[in-house]
A and B are shown apart, each in its own frame.
Chain A
Amino acid sequence: MSYYAFIGAVESGFVYGLMVLGVYLTFRVLDFPDLTVDGSLPLGAAVASVAITAGVPPYIAIILAMGAGFLAGMVTGILNTKFKILHLLASILTMIALYSVNIRIMGRPNMTLLGKPTVLDPLEALGIPSSLAPLTLFGTIAIIVVCGLIWLLHTEWGQAMLATGDNPQMITSQGVDTNIVIILGVGLSNALVALSGALVCQSQGAADVNMGVGTIVAGLASVIVGETVFGHRGVARPLIAALLGSIVYRLAIALALGLELGAFSVTPSDLNLITAILVVVALVSPQIKAKVMSRAHS
């Protein structure tokens, strides 16, 4: 893999890593499979692009985007807890609703940001080359968010969130309202996903209503790859693993894009298949290793 593809993959790994951290919060911490993300990623992009086009400073725009994502997540949480709709279905409902909402927000399905101010401008003004600026900024934000989440999960509220996913009966008996924890937790998760979307559209030059397609697949694959490769014990470790998992996932795609296997000709349409195979290899290699090790010991 060559320079720009590598830099680009790590950059994508960081920026989508924010989304992966959101998916980790719902999927692993709250035990709440949340498909809202396919809608809240473009929601973040839509809000940010409309705000920036209207003249709002880009850094304020990403905060507005996070607010919108938080609300979207809360809707899913409320549908689930207050209206007793199965979590998977509740999130699908919010996701499909967001498709229409996003087009309403932008007034069209695709909104360009080419030539508009972005969060990257201050970095480029500092003299950081435009190929490295997104990597630097997204890396910094991702690391700040990881640290913030590690802190949060150590607070009383964070512990309640961990317990809500682990053992809801126990935590309810201790007087914690799990419904509130779920609503706020899913909200927080989607705020991170929307942040990811708000940053992606600025590095990519446009917000598009279809940019969320496959977000949950990438999110889950990154969480699982991260767990397998970097471990999942404790509070801090799985969060760092999720972020690193996102980078590994994007590197796998970059690898698949540049793959040439000589005589066996790989066509561009094989990309999804190759990506899937690379992820499967990442998933099963530790198991195979464990088997070989145990056989060697016996």
Chain B
Amino acid sequence: MGKLRIIICALAFVLVASVAMAEDYTVSVSQIVEHPALDATRQGFMDYLEEQGLDVKYNVHIAQGNIATANQIANQIMDEDPDLVLAIATPTAQACAQRIHETPVIATAVTDFVGAGLVKSMDKPGGNVTGMTDMTPMDKHLDLMLEFVPDATAVGVIYNAGEDNSVTLVKFLRDACEAKGVKLEEATIQNSSGVLQAARSLVGKVQAIYIPTDNTVVTALESAMKVAHENHIPLFSGDTDSVERGTLASLGFDYYNMGRQTGEMAFRILKEGANPADMPVETLQDLSLWVNKDAAEKMGVTIPEAVLDRADTVLE
């Protein structure tokens, strides 16, 4: 009997030890739609946790832009009973926040956390939801544009008036323009097929066009680029992925880095038992300056030396 007990104890010890060493975590992801910036966020999140040595099983759900589906995904996630939920973009974050009350929810790529009702305050979220805002410092973006076209009297912006994030961003851009005495021409669209027409409507009225981090416009970025090439208008974007696709420059929001910083927040919750209620909503620490030489040529723009000197990434 004594021997048997020792063997059982040893087996139990090995079993417990191996379970503890496996470090299995489950993370369920709810993303509103697939596009490069949001996908990069997800990738950054996963890469960070992998580098930290966490063995994570992911359940990735994408709502295909449909809010009813986003809701059903939140139910699906309840069944999966994950250790943490990653919600990418505002509508999916709201759907998760409404259904999931126990599991920590990290929302990312959300602009206005308080306005969307996700947290009580940015410093003290108070519930099971926290995350990272992709609020862009619009005054810095305007300064960058004015460095390229110092005597600009008007700049244009294309956005979907149905996207809460974009409406908030444009509000800040409007304030920044007012402060600088520059006129802001707004072209709004309802779906990605309207981007071409919206871009054309700005031709002749503005000396530069800005594309905020708007899911609908970014989907059809190439239409706006076409207009910028044909009419030699510098086209700027709110994210650096778009610079890679051919916009002139951005003071970057690198969504991949945002994903990594979001992953760092997840790491604190999973590994260190941090409580989302006490974790302030974070903003991206380092903005990086990206410029695209090829785009500058096609848009008939010279990149100022000062910008080239301090650029983090220069695409040929």
| Interface residues, chain A, with chain B CB atoms under 8 Å away | 2-5, 7-9, 12, 16, 96, 99, 103, 108-110, 112-115, 131, 200, 203-206, 208-211, 213-214, 218, 250, 253-254, 257-258, 268-269, 271-272
Contacts and interface: CB of A to CB of B under 8 A. Distances in A.
Contact of B68 (A2, A218, A258, A272): A218
Contact of B61 (A12, A209, A268): A268
B72 A5 contact: yes
Interface stretch (B75-83, B132-140, B267-275): B75-83
A254 B70 CA distance: 11
B293 to A, nearest CB: 33
B10 interface: no
B72 A204 contact: no
Interface string B62-74: 1111111111111
Contact of B76 (A4, A211, A213): A4
B76 A258 contact: yes
Nearest to A250: B72
B42 to A, nearest CB: 10
Contacts of A103: 161-162
A71 to B, nearest CB: 21
Given A112-B116, A271-B69, 12 more contacts: A3-B79, A16-B68, A112-B117, A200-B68, A204-B95, A208-B67, A210-B65, A211-B68, A213-B67, A253-B69, A258-B76, A268-B34
Contacts of A272: 64
Nearest to B171: A108
Interface of B: 31, 34, 60-76, 78-79, 90-91, 94-95, 97-98, 115-118, 161-164, 167, 190
Nearest to A41: B68
B167 A268 contact: no
B127 to A, nearest CB: 9
Which of B61, B76, B78, B115: most chain A CB closer than 10 A? B76
Contacts of B97: 114, 205
Contacts of B164: 108-110, 208
B71 to A, nearest CB: 5
Contacts of B69: 253, 257, 271
A204 B100 CA distance: 11
5 contacts: A8-B74, A8-B76, A96-B190, A206-B98, A271-B63
A268 B31 CA distance: 10
Nearest to B69: A253
A254 B76 contact: yes
Nearest to A215: B68
A12 B74 CA distance: 12
B79 to A, nearest CB: 4
B150 to A, nearest CB: 34
A117 B167 CA distance: 26
B64 A253 contact: no
A115 B117 contact: yes
A113 B162 CA distance: 18
A110 B90 contact: yes
Q: Chain B binding site: helix, strand, loop or mixed by DSSP?
A: helix
A9 B64 CA distance: 17
Which of B64, B68, B97: most chain A CB closer than 10 A? B68
Given A16-B68, A268-B61, A9 B163 contact: no
Contact of A257 (B34, B61, B65, B67): B61
A8 B66 CA distance: 16
Contacts of A12: 68, 71-72
Contact of A110 (B60, B61, B116): B116
A206 B116 contact: yes
Nearest to B216: A210
A222 to B, nearest CB: 12
B65 A4 contact: no
Contacts of A8: 71-72, 74-76, 78
A7 B78 CA distance: 11
Given A113-B117, A257-B61, A268-B61, A205 B94 contact: yes
Which of A203, A205, A258: most chain B CB closer than 10 A? A205
B278 to A, nearest CB: 19
A268 B74 CA distance: 14
Given A16-B68, A109-B161, A208 B117 contact: no
Contacts of B31: 268
B117 A209 contact: no
B73 A257 contact: yes
The 4 closest A-B pairs by CB, nearest first: A112-B117, A8-B75, A205-B98, A114-B117
Given A204-B95, A209-B162, A112 B115 contact: yes
B67 A205 contact: no
A99 B64 contact: no
A206 B91 contact: yes
B174 to A, nearest CB: 14
A109 B72 contact: no
Contacts of A7: 75
A258 B118 CA distance: 26
A209 B167 CA distance: 12
A138 to B, nearest CB: 12
Contact of B117 (A96, A109, A205, A257): A205
A204 B79 contact: no
B66 A114 contact: no
A54 B39 CA distance: 38
Nearest to B79: A2
Contacts of A211: 67-68
Contacts of B67: 204, 208, 210-211, 213
